[in-house]
């Protein structure tokens, strides 16, 4: 992975973003910036609009307002975005191996022709990086929740994105795996100057690791800023209670 992010994006500016679906206003007046090299945590109660916001960022949902990708040289740009969904619905009985899945994604080439040794080596390296090398020859349908999320992360990291969007990436991961996964996210941010936006309900981790926290409530930004500032707001206490 030798993508020079210092030459690439520096900021993603979201201005007055709103999303309406089926006659319902799901998001309104969302404005904040995502800096490269920073981890932004999206927090908020169930149904606050976190996943909807990620999907708008990915260009997966129509929205009003602006999302501007700003490069270091000031020119507008498109961003390469990697995405790990909260849940992937797929046919668990399909005879697709992890190798097939990642090789097809990386090369765009039909895997029934066989996977060249060079591509297998690339997949091995990517799985090693996400701490899941043992999964290479297993069927996708046999993976545990945590393994599946790591495989999806390996997919999202190739090609190396400017913005990595993770929707509750820790939900399927056990305690031991969690520490490695946290370390991997911090490593990606620090080593590749990547902008990471992550939906998480793990408030303790968010408090310790996020550079910026955006609290969504009812489709609006209820508070945004450094973790300590956001965790100290009445809006935070209202959303999560006094005990946090
Ligand atoms: N396709 C859709 N059509 C209509 N309403 C939708 C659609 N998708 C989501 N919603 C509604 O939008 C609101 C926000 O949902 P969203 O999934 O973004 O919340 P969330 O903050 O990610 O919640 P959670 O923490 O439970 O994952 C919810 O009230 C949901 O019912």
Same domain, 151 and 166: no
Distance 159 CA to ligand 1 centre (A): 29
Structure tokens at 57: 């960022």
Q: How many domains, the chain? A: 2
Q: How many helices (H) and strands (E) does the chain have?
A: 8, 9
pLDDT of amino acid 10:
80
- 76 and 166 assigned to the same domain: yes
Does 2 map to a domain? no
User: Which pLDDT belongs to residue 217?
Assistant: 97
Co-location of 207 and 226 in the same domain: yes
Place of tokens 């090609």: 159
Determine which residue's CA is closest to atom 7 belonging to ligand 1: 21
Contact yes or no for 70/162 (Cβ under 8 A): no
Decide whether any atom of ligand 1 lies within 6 Å of the 62 Cβ.
Answer: no
Give the number of other Cβ atoms within 10 Å of residue 12's Cβ. 22
Domain boundary among 107, 124, 158: 158
- Given pLDDT bands bounded at 50, 70 and 90, which one contains residue 243? low
Q: Which domain holds residue 242?
A: 8-80+161-244
Is residue 25 located within the same domain as residue 135? Answer: no
Distance CA 94, CA 71 (A): 41
Q: Is 44 near ligand 1, meaning CB less than 6 Å away? A: yes
ipTM of the complex: 0.92
**Ligand 1, atom nearest to 48 Cα:** 21
Query: Any idea what the CATH number is for the domain that residue 224 is in?
Result: 3.40.50.300
CA neighbor of 12 nearest in space, from 202, 191, 161: 161
Please write the tens of the pLDDT for every residue from 42-59.
999 999 999 999 999 998
Answer yes or no: do 216 and 122 share one domain.
Answer: no
Q: Are residues 171 and 145 in the same domain?
A: no
Same-domain check for residues 68 and 183: yes
Which residues, 6 or more positions from 166, have their beta carbon under 8 angstroms from its beta carbon?
A: 83, 84, 153, 185, 196, 197, 198, 199
For residue range 146-191, list pLDDT tens digits in order: 888 889 999 999 988 989 999 987 776 777 777 777 888 888 888 8
- CB–CB of 90/142 below 8 Å? no
In a domain, 1, yes or no: no
């Amino acid at each position: 992975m030798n993508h020079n992010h210092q030459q690439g994006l520096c900021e993603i500016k979201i201005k007055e973003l709103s999303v309406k679906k089926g006659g319902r206003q799901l998001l309104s007046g969302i404005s904040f910036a995502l800096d490269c090299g920073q981890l932004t945590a999206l927090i908020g109660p169930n149904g606050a609009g976190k996943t909807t916001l990620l999907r708008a960022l990915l260009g997966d949902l129509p929205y009003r307002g602006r999302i501007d990708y700003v490069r270091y040289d000031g020119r507008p740009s498109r961003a390469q975005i990697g995405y790990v969904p909260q849940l992937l619905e797929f046919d668990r009985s399909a005879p697709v191996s992890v190798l097939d899945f990642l090789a097809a994604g990386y090369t765009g080439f039909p895997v029934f022709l066989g996977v060249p040794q060079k591509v297998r080596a690339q997949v091995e390296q990517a799985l090693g990086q996400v701490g899941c090398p043992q999964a290479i020859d297993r069927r996708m349908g046999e993976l545990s929740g945590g393994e599946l999320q790591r495989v999806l992360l390996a997919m999202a990291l190739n090609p190396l994105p400017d913005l990595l969007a993770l929707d509750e990436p820790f939900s399927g991961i056990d305690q031991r795996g969690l520490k490695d996964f946290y370390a991997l996210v911090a490593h990606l941010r620090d080593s590749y100057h990547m902008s990471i936006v992550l939906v998480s309900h793990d408030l303790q981790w968010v408090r310790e690791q996020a550079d910026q926290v955006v609290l969504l409530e009812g489709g609006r930004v209820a508070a945004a800023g450094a973790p300590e500032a956001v965790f100290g707001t009445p809006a935070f206490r209202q959303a999560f209670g006094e005990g946090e």
